[in-house]
Amino acid sequence: MRIFTAVDISGPVKETILNIQNELKNQLPCVKWVEKDNLHITLKFIGDIEDNGLEGIKTAISGIAGNFSSFSIHLTDIGLFPNVKFPKIISAKIEKGNDHLKEISGALNTGLAPLGVEAEKRDFAAHLTVARIKDPQKNKDMLDLVTQKKLNINCSTKINAIMLIQSKITPTGPIYTLLENFNLCK
């Protein structure tokens, strides 16, 4: 079973992103747009686990969630991630609440390591994936459109829980199944 942790975003934010996707769809055939129901902010990719390891992971995440309070995030610019030179995705930048997300991600990294979950070596960079770029070098001219348009979603949403999600990879895209919500309840 392939799993990861994430936080959800509100319906109005998803609608705003969907409107931007619709605006850009015809101009950017070189990307795979993230479906509305799959929009989220990943905190920690856990990877493939055996079914018998799931309960220990749930217990650890529950304990971690209990150490944090709800908070708000503010999303702003739509841009290329991780950078303009070598983009892999089109994403929404998180302006406010980034420190909280980074703190939770770090706690998940530390708290899941004793269970054999490999710690992330790169610094956490919070973002919300709007689209995945199929061939960035081949489609550079089209992708320049994203930076030229200066798209801004200017939306806020409350973060109340850490989600544990199962991901099944299919030829048409990932299928996400929510396994459990862990409320932030400090």
Q: CATH assignment of 2-183, given 2.40.110.20, 3.40.50.150, 3.30.300.30, 3.90.1140.10?
A: 3.90.1140.10
Cα(147)–Cα(135) distance, integer angstroms: 17
Q: What is the pLDDT of residue 82?
A: 87
Give which of 109, 92, 110, 88 is closest to 157, Cα–Cα: 92
40 is catalytic: yes
Q: Name the E strands within 10-121.
A: 31-33, 41-48, 71-81, 89-96
Cα(45)–Cα(5) distance, integer angstroms: 6
The per-residue pLDDT for range 119-154, each reduced to its tens digit, is 998 899 999 999 998 877 777 777 777 877 778 789
Catalytic residue among 40, 97, 107, 136: 40
Where along the chain do its domains lie?
2-183
DSSP single-letter state for residue 113:
G
Residue 186 pLDDT greater than 90, yes or no:
no
pTM across the whole model: 0.92
Catalytic residue among 46, 105, 127, 151: 127
